């Protein structure tokens, strides 16, 4: 499987938080699966951390690297599609993750119900 972690799923995975479901935890931990983390999630975490709205360690980027997740940059195709998506979700970070999952044919690991309204394969976080 090729997975893309939604921002909340990424945080739960890094914390080994029991909130994340068993199926998602096993899929993320399976060495046969590729697990991608979007630069968009890192950007979102950084913004929310700087605003005091999210408590994550200062070395969270290093923790992502140490988890051997595959970095997923944002490109023109992702951005263009994100702008064309129906407004089921108003959060631009989530819209970009949906677009990236669609363009790259990834399974989006999420618990966000608004994302389920898009034509994107998901795995419940």
Q: What residue spans define the domains of the chain?
A: 2-124
CATH of 2-124, one of 3.40.50.1010, 3.30.980.10, 3.20.20.10, 3.30.70.270: 3.40.50.1010
Per-residue pLDDT of 39-69, as tens digits, reads 999 999 999 999 999 999 999 999 999 999 9
Given a contact cutoff of 8 angstroms between Cβ atoms, the answer to whether 108 and 97 are in contact is yes
Given a contact cutoff of 8 angstroms between Cβ atoms, the answer to whether 4 and 72 are in contact is yes
pTM: 0.96
The contacts found for 26-33 with CB under 8 angstroms, 24 or more apart, are: 27/1, 27/3, 27/109, 27/123, 28/3, 28/109, 30/1, 32/1, 33/1, 33/2, 33/3
Per-residue pLDDT of 4-18, as tens digits, reads 999 999 999 999 999
């Amino acid at each position: 499987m090729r997975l893309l972690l939604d921002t909340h799923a990424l945080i739960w995975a890094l914390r080994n938080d029991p909130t994340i479901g068993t199926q998602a935890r096993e899929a993320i931990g399976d060495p046969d699966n590729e697990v991608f983390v979007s630069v968009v999630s890192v950007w979102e975490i950084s913004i929310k951390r700087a605003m005091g709205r999210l408590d994550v360690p200062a070395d969270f980027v290093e923790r992502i690297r140490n988890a051997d997740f595959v970095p997923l940059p944002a490109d023109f195709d992702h951005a263009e599609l994100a702008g064309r998506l129906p407004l089921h979700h108003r959060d631009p970070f989530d819209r970009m993750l949906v677009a990236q999952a669609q363009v790259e044919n990834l399974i989006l690991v999420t618990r966000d119900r608004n994302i389920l309204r898009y034509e994107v394969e998901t795995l419940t976080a």
